[in-house]
Amino acid sequence: MKVLGIESSCDETGVAVYDTEAGLLAHCLHSQIDLHAAYGGVVPELASRDHIRRLPVLMKQVLAQAGLENRDVDAVAYTSGPGLAGALLVGASVAESFALARGIPALPVHHLEGHLLSPLLSADPPQFPFVALLVSGGHTQLMRVRGVGDYALLGESVDDAAGEAFDKTAKLLGLGYPGGPQLARLAGQGVAGRFRLPRPMLHSGDLDFSFSGLKTAVLNVVSAPDWDPAGMADLAAEFQQAVVEVLCAKALAALKKTGLKTLVVAGGVGANLHLRQTLDAALQQRGGRVHYPEPALCTDNGAMIAFAGAMRLGAGEAVSGEPSVRIRPRWPLAELKPPQAAVA
Ligand code: KG4
Ligand code: ZN
């Protein structure tokens, strides 16, 4: 079965084709970074308009790359939520229209399920069950994953997501958009420990996170009368160290609590090198292992949506015969259920 995947939840337009027998056949991505850079953040209306412009082109491109025609596609999977309502509507409308015209099923997919399953697309995939650390611009969550759709929330951020904290802190340090990668680059040139930032909720005794106070602590440092911008790289390094320390400690606590040894890290912040090195070293020491998506599939992409859709359809998930544009801008991941077959 060949599944066309469409991702348009935020500022990346992603399209891919996943074949349940041959694996990922092709994937194409357009990032809107240049479009939003002047505004210092994503402008929802501009994002929606750009998805409209890019999607038809990317769909043609991805099918050509895979050596397929429209008629070769067996099903369409699209990001139904969570995300920006207007942006989601574009992908959902295109996907449902394509499916209706071709007489094939269209399956709404949860964006975070796409991220969470994306390491299964790698050459050496993890086995269920595992603990997943989802760290993106909008979410920071620890989940116990027993199989597709069997997700139990262990803990999450009570305020800003880790990626959001990186982006907001980068902004107040005067770095460009998107802030996460730029702040990480600057941190690589500095030394942690010269400034001392808090490790929020490190000893809270649960698996929740809080990152908004960290941004305020950085603001306090740079607003002090004796602040010297020459210390910027050291401050960035300390900020990154604080986030990584908390993420790592809570991920280890989640593994201990569940008795599992496999950790899967997904979402944009999973691209952070310091986080990877710290988690790899900690798990190696404990006889466990960390799995990441392929680098190109760390941030938003169509491949993870095509794959999540293919996993569900392959497991016999029933698809509504009625064409309807289904979006859920807010959609808790723990609400998902394993693939449900049609009731006879
Ligand atoms: O998963 P993603 O592409 O989009 C969402 O679904 O949110 O994640 C984007 C987030 C942004 O906040 C971005 O700044 C952050 O991931 N990010 C990073 C790095 N690369 C991307 N944060 C820290 N270090 C990085 N290297
Ligand atoms: Zn994402």
d(CA 7, CA 143): 22
Give 266's contacts (C-beta < 8 A, 6+ positions apart). Answer: 115, 116, 118, 119, 132, 133, 134, 135, 136, 292, 293, 298
* 3-state DSSP percent of the chain in helix, strand and coil, to 5: 45, 20, 35
Q: What is the pLDDT along the chain (344 residues), one digit of tens a residue?
A: 999 999 999 999 999 999 999 999 999 999 999 999 999 889 999 999 999 999 999 999 999 999 999 999 999 999 999 999 999 999 999 999 999 999 999 999 999 999 999 999 999 999 999 999 999 999 999 999 999 999 999 999 999 999 999 999 999 999 988 899 999 999 999 999 999 999 999 999 999 999 999 999 999 999 999 999 999 999 999 999 999 999 999 999 999 999 999 999 999 999 999 999 999 999 999 999 999 999 899 989 999 999 999 999 999 998 877 889 999 999 999 999 999 876 65
Ligand 1 lining (C-beta closer than 6 Å)? 10, 136-138, 163, 166-167, 178-181, 184, 267-269, 271-272, 299-300
d(CA 80, CA 59): 18
Q: What letter does residue 146 receive in the DSSP assignment? A: E
| 288 lies in the same domain as 309 | no
Structural domains of the chain, count: 2
Q: Are 177 and 42 in contact (CB under 8 A)?
A: no
Say what the pTM is: 0.94
What residue type is assigned to position 203 of the chain? H
Q: Take residue 280 and report the two structure tokens written for it.
A: 């790899």
Question: Strand 140-147 vs strand 150-156: parallel, antiparallel, or unpaired?
Answer: antiparallel
**Which of 31, 136, 277 most suits a substitution to test ligand 1, by most atoms within 8 Å of the C-beta?**
136
| 89 lies in the same domain as 217 | no
| 218 lies in the same domain as 262 | yes
Which atom of ligand 1 is nearest the CA belonging to 300?
Answer: 3
Domain enclosing residue 194, as ranges: 128-292
| 227 lies in the same domain as 244 | yes
Q: Is residue 344 part of a domain?
A: no
Strand partners, 266: 134
**CA-closest residue to ligand 1 atom 3:** 299
Question: Strand 130-135 vs strand 289-291: parallel, antiparallel, or unpaired?
Answer: unpaired
| 112 lies in the same domain as 138 | no
Phi/psi for 311 (5° steps) reads -60, -45
| 145 lies in the same domain as 194 | yes
